[in-house]
Amino acid sequence: MTKTSSTPIVHFLLAAGLFLSCSASDDLSMSRPQGEPHAVEVSMRVGVSAGIASRELNTWDGAQQVNDMRVYLFRCPQEKYKTDEEKFTYYIPQNIKDKGYFEVKDFDNKTPYYSSEHNGQPEQHAFYFSPLLESGYYYQFLAVGRDDKYVAPQDRLLEQSSFKEDLTTLQVAQMSLAENAVKQAENGTYNCSEFFSGVMRDETTKNETPILVTDEPPYFFRATLTATRNVAGLMIYVTNIPSVVETNTQYGQTEKFTPTKLYVEATGLATETKLRDRIAPTSTKIYKTQTLGEIDLTAANGWTIDNEEHVFTRPADEKKGWQKNSYLVSNFMMPTPESFMGNSPNAEGLGVTFYLHYADDKGHHRYDNIKKTKSTGDLRRFPIEANHLYSLGSKSSTSNDPYDLQKHYEPIMVDIAIEIEPAFEKKHEFETE
């Protein structure tokens, strides 16, 4: 929508991941006092589509649950743009000094928004604001969308973004695990929630496209701001969990046992991610041997044992859509480079990213490595990338196919293969071998 005004109008559309497009009319006449901030009228249509449901990752179907959408401004002096001295620093216009950001209040989801329930359309909202911007600068907009507004502060898994004006650069701006999540990770259990971030980019070239504010009349331009999922997803959907397995640690004799817990574990996970580049900072703290999901195999969780088939059994869960004898665990993860991953507990020197861990209360352990079904390079040791889904088994509105652990069980060592999806950009399917 184009409005007639004496100030430039910037139009934004946020859709298909998180997506903003902007334009300014070239037929606007304007008179700007030199040396003073200018009121730049911004109209924004904000929408979210294509993704996995927030809070609980229980299906591949496109969904989102953004209820905290904020837009931050960063700027770079015109003369330093595209030079060795280019640096976009955090900037707070005079009219938002109290907050430091613009808030898109129409995003207020308390439950997931499924695009399939709205004729395949993303959620979109019109949003208007008028920042006071000084001339002589390029301005870049950073969108950050979260799903934890209605979570008690002490229970949130992500820190609230905190930038220092004129000091924090767009290059280093980041999101970190909150104190609550850090304490859990220090105890060996990793938990993270979903969020989105991104900056304006050209629709065709995908290059970053900041806005230049000068004392000259405005001109027409188009750009795109895509706020993409800044975490990875893990979904483990399994069936026919073996009720008798063999220990397979590096040392000692093998011994059969009945597990009481089945864990999904990672050998290394980061605690921060950059908001613009969606990668871990080089200085990030890495937590080793982290539990991402746990299946309680006791009667208290509804399990019994089929002594003929030697598998754990439980009724189908119609509410969750789980098949008989099946169970699903999931989590979100900060992007983590391959170099931060460790080795498998069941094979000396064998690097892995994920593995399954069977255990009982008597000190018995079994570890089955997880590997990708299709890939170049190392199938077991690989990076965790933003906006990628790592899945063992599949579950969506059109697919309900848990991974059969008994079918793929081998006494000594098993590699489990996953696949990655990038509505999620890429899906990595895993398996055991």
The 3-class secondary structure across 350-364, one letter per residue, is CECCEEEEEECCCCC
Q: How many CB atoms lie within 10 A of CB 365?
A: 17
pLDDT at position 39, please? Answer: 60
pLDDT at position 201, please? Answer: 77
Q: Which helix (H) or strand (E) holds 264?
A: strand 261-270
* Cα angle, residue 357 at apex, residues 351 and 362 outer, rounded to 5°: 130
How far is CA 124 from its chain centroid? Answer: 20
| Two structure tokens written together for 124 | 């979109």
Token look-up 């746990």 returns 294
How far is Cα 264 from Cα 369, in angstroms, rounded to an integer? Answer: 10
Cβ-contact 195, 297 below 8 angstroms: no
Q: How many CA atoms lie within 13 A of 291 on its CB side?
A: 15
| Two structure tokens written together for 424 | 């999620």
State yes or no: cis peptide before 424, omega within 30 of 0: yes
Q: Provide the 3-class DSSP secondary structure of residue 102.
A: strand
**Closest to 65 in 3D by CA, of 107, 118, 102:** 107
pLDDT at position 374, please? Answer: 75
Residues linked to residue 423 through DSSP beta bridges, in sequence order: none
Q: How many CB atoms lie within 10 A of CB 321?
A: 15
Measure CA of the first residue to CA of the last residue in the chain; give whole Å.
Answer: 55
CA-to-CA separations, 265 to 104, 191, 330, 356, in angstroms, rounded: 37, 12, 11, 6
DSSP type of residue 282: T
**Closest to 201 in 3D by CA, of 180, 221, 176:** 221
pLDDT at position 275, please? Answer: 96
| Two structure tokens written together for 275 | 């908001």
Burial (CB < 10 A; 0-12, 13-18, 19+), residue 262, is buried
CA-to-CA separations, 154 to 148, 150, 161, 180, in angstroms, rounded: 11, 12, 16, 7
Cβ-contact 324, 289 below 8 angstroms: no
The pLDDT profile of the chain, 433 residues, written as one tens digit per residue, is: 333 333 333 333 433 333 444 443 333 334 444 556 656 655 444 444 344 334 456 665 566 678 898 989 999 999 999 999 999 999 999 888 999 998 878 778 888 777 677 776 666 666 667 778 888 999 998 989 898 999 899 999 999 999 999 999 999 999 999 999 999 999 999 999 989 888 887 767 878 889 888 877 654 445 566 678 899 989 999 999 999 999 987 666 789 999 999 999 999 999 999 999 999 999 899 999 999 999 999 999 999 999 999 999 999 999 999 999 999 999 999 999 999 999 998 877 789 999 999 999 999 999 999 998 877 788 999 999 998 889 899 887 778 999 999 988 765 444 444 433 335 666 677 776 6
DSSP type of residue 433: -
Per-domain residue ranges for the chain? 9-229, 232-432
CA-to-CA separations, 349 to 109, 343, 346, 361, 375, in angstroms, rounded: 46, 6, 9, 27, 21
| Two structure tokens written together for 364 | 């018995």
pLDDT at position 290, please? Answer: 98
pLDDT at position 261, please? Answer: 98
Residues linked to residue 313 through DSSP beta bridges, in sequence order: 304
| Two structure tokens written together for 335 | 């992007």
pLDDT at position 44, please? Answer: 44
Amino acid at 201: R
Residues linked to residue 305 through DSSP beta bridges, in sequence order: 312
pLDDT at position 48, please? Answer: 45
How far is CA 96 from its chain centroid? Answer: 28
**Closest to 174 in 3D by CA, of 300, 298, 90, 263:** 90
Amino acid at 363: G
**β-strands 195-201, 222-226: how paired?**
antiparallel
pLDDT at position 22, please? Answer: 43
